[in-house]
Structure 1
């Protein structure tokens, strides 16, 4: 959605982001760092596959929209997570990478 102009995120990086997650089917927001009023830092290797594949290549200052089917999110229905079996949409702002 927005191309950043800063450092480029790589697969093994720790990233600082702002994001919102929405259920594709219902449009219901299930999580948002913006709503909490603070960014969050994650090692990419600990995140769902959709983020592991979708964030590398982003530049700091950029925004991406990721649509993650269940196999790239929390797995099939009955997978033990409340969002298992759901296609999820994330808007992600990359604030930093290291």
Structure 2
């Protein structure tokens, strides 16, 4: 676990229809090593529903970052994190086809567009 000097992000309530494609926005560009598709990443993240703005998951709320192989994550993260540099903060708006699939897919978040704020703390 790596400590972040940043505080838990807040997400502005989106307006308009949810995007149909992955949207990647660098909130803050890092200056450390760059994440690759094959990287193991150490991140702090916040996830909220696009429609409700409700938080559904947050490493911040648990008080520790998470460390995992990028290839084991949802497609939106696999596409949205490579190229990000350690020390950066990135927002991903992930449509259902790159998250947990269409409504009725068996996951509580199936059918939802999700917003993630991700702080990249380290890469291996």
Q: TM-score range by the shorter chain?
A: over 0.9
Q: Which protein shows a greater Rg?
A: 2
Structure 1 residue aligned with 2:66: 40
1:49 to 2:75 alignment: yes
Q: Give the alignment's Cα RMSD to 1 decimal.
A: 0.4
**C-alpha distance in 2 between matches for 1:42 and 1:78:** 27
Q: Number of paired residues?
A: 98
Q: Return 5+ residue gaps in structure 2 as ranges.
A: 1-26
Q: TM-score, normalised by structure 2?
A: 0.78
Structure 2 residue aligned with 1:71: 97
Q: Return 5+ residue gaps in structure 1 as ranges.
A: none
Q: Displaced runs of 4+ in structure 1, greater than 6 A?
A: none
1:22 to 2:48 alignment: yes
**C-alpha distance in 2 between matches for 1:20 and 1:12:** 22
Q: TM-score, normalised by structure 1?
A: 0.99
* 1:75-90 paired onto structure 2 within 5 Å: 75-90=101-116
**C-alpha distance in 1 between matches for 2:34 and 2:49:** 28
